[in-house]
Structure 1
Amino acid sequence: MKLAIVLSAFVLYTPLASSSVAAAMPQPATAEHQSSRATRTARAVDITTQYDGQALFIRDRWEVKIARDGDRFIYSGGESGKRGISLANGQLTKFGDKHLYKWNNAGTIYRVTWQPTDPNFARVQVFDAKGSELFNKLMWTPPEN
């Protein structure tokens, strides 16, 4: 079965060359970056406040963006450079230090798990209406320019 998750009409990230995928993974913070990272983590209320209104996570050819509009969470995601899916009315549930964001699209569940203590990574999962997992990737924020 082929998964049909595609990117919304706007692309915020230009994919890196395939040989640089490993280089694109965030590295442990250096001493000079510890201060700003600690500040960002301390002020994080949800995934969108962590990244000034929206969060972008990437892996290989996949991109997922989480945004907030008032009390609604919006999911946009799919394959880089292709038309994608955009879902509104996401729900946030907190389990200890884990934040679970969830959207339902006609029985297909889109789920993003994120931890403020490890803000550069998120697990993105998609389940069909029968509960079978269609997509499961650990994704990361793109490197800053």
Structure 2
Amino acid sequence: MNLKAILLATIIGLSVPAIADIALDTHAVAQIYANEGTYTDSEWQVTIGYDGNALSYYGENLRTGDSIRLRGAKVSGNSQRRIYTWTNGNIRYQVAWKPSEPQIIRLEVFDGRGRKILNRLLYNG
């Protein structure tokens, strides 16, 4: 039996949780919260909130009255810019916002080829 190998494996096994605790900022990960609320401009209104435990999107064209409701956003981005993405068929709805400016969101809609068909800044309040 190789005592040095067993000792090394034990030390490494005990060290990994401590290294992971130092290397991973779990508090930053936990702070990815939803920027809930209603945001508008002259033509669009978007409401972001929770429907059960799923992040939801309700968007309405104020000029035509057309609307869409989506559930289950994919959350991405980083601590400076958060992004929520919903899909409806091959259309992708994306809302981006900065935690430093929670009253403003950028709404982008992409067609099935990835071409941006809508790009608007919407404001809360």
TM-score (norm 1): 0.59
Q: Could you tell me how far apart the structure 2 residues matched to 1:97 and 1:71 are?
A: 24
Counterpart position of 2:17: none
Structure 1 runs (4+) deviating above 2 angstroms are: 43-46
Q: TM-score when scaled to structure 2?
A: 0.68
Larger radius of gyration between Structure 1 and Structure 2: 2
Q: Specify which structure has the higher proportion of helix.
A: 2
Which stretches in structure 1 are left out of the alignment for 5+ residues? 1-42, 49-54
Unaligned runs of 5+ in 2: 1-30
C-alpha distance in 1, partners of 2:110/2:96? 14
Instruction: Find the aligned partners of 2:54 and 2:118 in 1 and give their Cα distance.
Output: 23
Pair 1:118 & 2:106 matched: no
- Of 62, 65, 75, 1:80 maps to 62
Does residue 1:64 correspond to 2:50, yes or no? no
1:45 maps to 2:27: no
Report the alpha carbon displacement of residue 101 of structure 1 after superposing the two structures with TM: 0.4
**CA, structure 1 residues 115+70, in 2 after alignment: closer, same or farther (shift >3 Å)?**
farther
Q: Say if 2:54 and 2:73, in contact at 8 Å, map to a contact too.
A: yes
With 115-124 and 74-83 compared, the bigger mean Cα shift is at 74-83
RMSD: 1.8
In the alignment, the residues of structure 1 paired with residue 90 and residue 32 of structure 2 have an alpha-carbon distance, to the nearest angstrom, of 30
**Structure 1 residue 44, shift from structure 2 partner:** 8.1
Q: Which amino acid in 2 is paired with 1:79? A: N
Amino acid at match of 1:85: I
**1:140 & 1:56 partners in 2: Cα distance?**
8
Greater RCO, 1 or 2 (C-alpha within 8 Å, sep 6+)? 1
Identity fraction in percent: 26
Between structures 1 and 2, the one with greater strand share? 2
What residue in structure 2 maps to residue 98 of structure 1? 81
Bigger CA drift: 67-76 or 55-64?
Answer: 67-76
In structure 2, the partner of 1:134 is: 117
Question: Deviation string for 1:86-114 (max 9, x for gaps)?
Answer: 01111111312211000011010000001
